[in-house]
Structure 1
Amino acid sequence: MSTHRPRAVVTGASSGIGAATVRRLCAEGWDVVAVARRADRLAGLAAETGAEPFPADLTSADDVARLAEHCDATGGLTSLVNVAGGALGLDPVATADVEDWRWMYEINVLGTLRVTQALLPLIVASGRGDVVVVTSTAAIGPYEGGGGYTAAKHAERMLATTLRLELIGQPVRVIDVEPGAVATQEFALVRFGGDAERAAKVYEGYQPLEADDVADVIAFALTRPHHVNLDTIVVRPRAQVSNTQTARG
């Protein structure tokens, strides 16, 4: 396929970092396939940006296979940006809900594995491929109440790191982007079961990152000359010096 106009699949594209990444890559002149479960939101994003909407559930092997077949039939693929993920609860290990942990592993780890496996042959065949995995600073450090999420994100980071080793000599970059606190529309709301007041407190007293900040970092990494690989990028708000320490004014 032609390398003059790169083409990316962005997962988790219906909101937050995923939607911001779609907007940014489209503005950079990329062809983008925007993937998420919510077709209505994808349709709005497509109308705004010119991206191609592709409703799919990444926990469904059939949906992921359909995505791969579509990309193959419509011009191939250079890049995959794995954004889809999420957290549930903030309970200690001693009392955590096993089903919450199962969901976090399914969406953060197995969802990323499924879509990466399905699209990797196209990415390699492009001759200038990229696999971006948006993990979290939870992938490099623990915090109280975060056992399930940090476990899943550590696993997702190891997926990316191992893939990079296994692709040695192939024309594919593997890029791990690890954001700290990002005030997106839904992340904290999902984590706290829709409790808007509790979600808002997470970001009180300091300026957190916004989705556009992370999309900017992703686009920067993807648009470097292809021999340049930004293996791991940790991006936090200035006020957050670790997963457990944030200066609140």
Structure 2
Amino acid sequence: MAILITGASSGFGAAMAQTFVQAGYLVIGTARRGEKLTDLQVRLGDRFQPIVMDVCDKESVQAALLHIQTLPEKFQTIDCLINNAGLALGLDSADKANFADWETMIHTNIIGLSYLTHQVLPKMVVNKRGYIINIGSIAGNYPYFGGNVYGATKAYVRQFSLNLRADLHGTGVRVSNIEPGLCEGSEFSNVRFKGDDERAAKLYEYANALTAQDIAETALWLYQRPAHMNVNTIEVMPVSQSFAGLQVHKDVPPPPPAPELPVVVETPSVAAAQSEQGFLGKLASLFK
């Protein structure tokens, strides 16, 4: 039995593929960029099988699922589907956002995820075992400026996950939704800012953000729970991030030390003269 991970060419997906393979599991990794998957296979060996697939294209999904049936027999049964493929585009207010970006997010984060899940679920139900792990986001729980449709798609992932749990009651199939906060080590922000790598890097500077490996190990921990245990939702944030506007506390470098000022030392004669003048001035004022 194998674990099917979408969006496996980089970021969370690549980290999860490596983490699961190193833990001894069989992994099928899908993504649009075949060369990245090939590189990953070279690193991970024969426990990893790459398949080029675009979750937004139903024909591509169907072709990938047929391809799985041609793999060695031990890969042909999908025991766990990790719906990782997803993206955010833009950070503009809703009135200024590019509607084509909204459509891409909806097709990828909602329709693609739903379609692949729908294709994989029936065999899991027949087998009376299986696991759907969705990668959501805290953006589905907490609104923030510019989140608009991206946050809405992740709210869908959250509710879809919970409704799957209700629908799959009694089947033995588990469903979990991982909701990460600020996380570096992926191409998420580079894609969101459309190649503005400097802007993306600035977002994580001194932030002590989560890493892709943190999310990979969270997914592995979920998969390794006993079959009778289901974690419905797991929300993870870096300690530096809070709920109030999703603020991020950054450890900035300390300011340089202030230059030392020269110390002025008054001579006793000057101090005494000033003291005497003060006393005489007060005494003179009594006779005015």
- Scaled to the shorter chain, the TM-score interval is over 0.9
The 3-state SS of whatever aligns with 1:78 is: strand
CA contact (8 A) 2:186 2:212 kept: no
- Deviation at residue 244 of structure 1 after TM alignment: 1.9
Task: Verify the 8 A CA contact 1:77 1:126 in the aligned structure 2.
Answer: no
Distance 2:220 2:152 in 1: 27
Q: Deviations over 1:37-56 (max 9, x none)?
A: 11101011111113000111
- Kindly state the Cα deviation for residue 125 of structure 1 after the two structures are TM-superposed: 3.1
Matches within 5 A, 1:123-134: 123-134=124-135
8 A contact 1:37–1:55 mirrored in 2? yes
Identity %: 37
User: What's the offset of the Cα at 1:120?
Assistant: 1.1
- Summarize the alignment of residues 30-69 of structure 1 with structure 2, pairs less than 5 Å apart: 30-50=25-45, 51-69=48-66
The DSSP-based 3-state class of the residue aligned with 2:184 is: coil
Partners of 1:190 and 1:150 in 2: CA distance: 16
Question: Is the 1:78–1:126 Cα contact (8 Å) retained in structure 2?
Answer: no
Runs of 4+ in 1 over 6 A off after TM superposition: none
Contact 1:7 1:77 in 2 (8 A): yes
Show the counterpart of 1:3.
none
AA matched with 1:82: N
Tell which structure's C-alpha radius of gyration is larger: 2
Equivalents in 2 of 1:192, 1:57: separation in Å? 21
Query: 2-side partners of 1:111 and 1:49: how far apart?
Result: 27
Bigger Cα displacement from structure 2, 41-50 vs 214-223? 41-50
The answer for unaligned runs of 5 or more in structure 1 is 1-5
Paired with 1:213 and 1:132, the residues of 2 have a C-alpha distance of: 15
Determine the structure 2 residue equivalent to 1:207. 208
TM-score by length of 1: 0.94
Q: Residue in 2 aligned with 1:153?
A: 154
Q: Structure 2: which amino acid aligns with 1:11?
A: T
When residues 199 and 206 of structure 1 are mapped into structure 2, their CA distance, relative to the original with a 3 A threshold, is same
Letter in 2 for 1:34: G
Per-residue deviation at 1:176?
0.3
What corresponds to 1:228 in structure 2?
229
Partner of 2:90: 89
1:10 counterpart residue number: 5
Q: Deviations over 1:187-213 (max 9, x none)?
A: 111101101111111112221111000
Structure scoring higher RCO (CA < 8 A, sep ≥ 6) equals 1
Tell me how large the CA RMSD over aligned residues is: 1.3
Contact 1:176–1:232 (Cα < 8 Å) also in 2: yes
Give, in angstroms, the shift of residue 34 of structure 1. 0.4
1:96-153 deviation per Cα after TM superposition (whole angstroms, max 9, x unaligned)? 1111111111111111011111111222233320000001111111001111210111
> Counterpart of 1:32 in 2: which secondary structure?
strand
Report the TM-score, using the length of structure 2 for normalisation: 0.82
Matches of 1:109 and 1:238, distance apart in 2: 29
Letter in 2 for 1:63: S
Q: Which blocks of at least 5 consecutive residues in structure 2 are unaligned? A: 252-288
Measure the CA separation in 2 of the matches of 1:227 and 1:183. 33
Q: Deviations over 1:129-184 (max 9, x none)?
A: 00000011111110011112101111122221111111111110001000001113
Provide the rounded CA distance (Å) in 2 between the counterparts of 1:115 and 1:68.
9
Q: What amino acid maps onto 2:246 in structure 1? A: T
Q: Which residue of 1 aligns with 2:193?
A: 192
SS at match of 1:185: coil
- Partner amino acid for 2:79? T
Shift of 1:72: 4.4
Amino acid at match of 1:248: K
C-alpha contact 2:130 2:173 (8 A) present in aligned 1: yes
Say whether residues 1:27 and 2:22 are aligned partners: yes
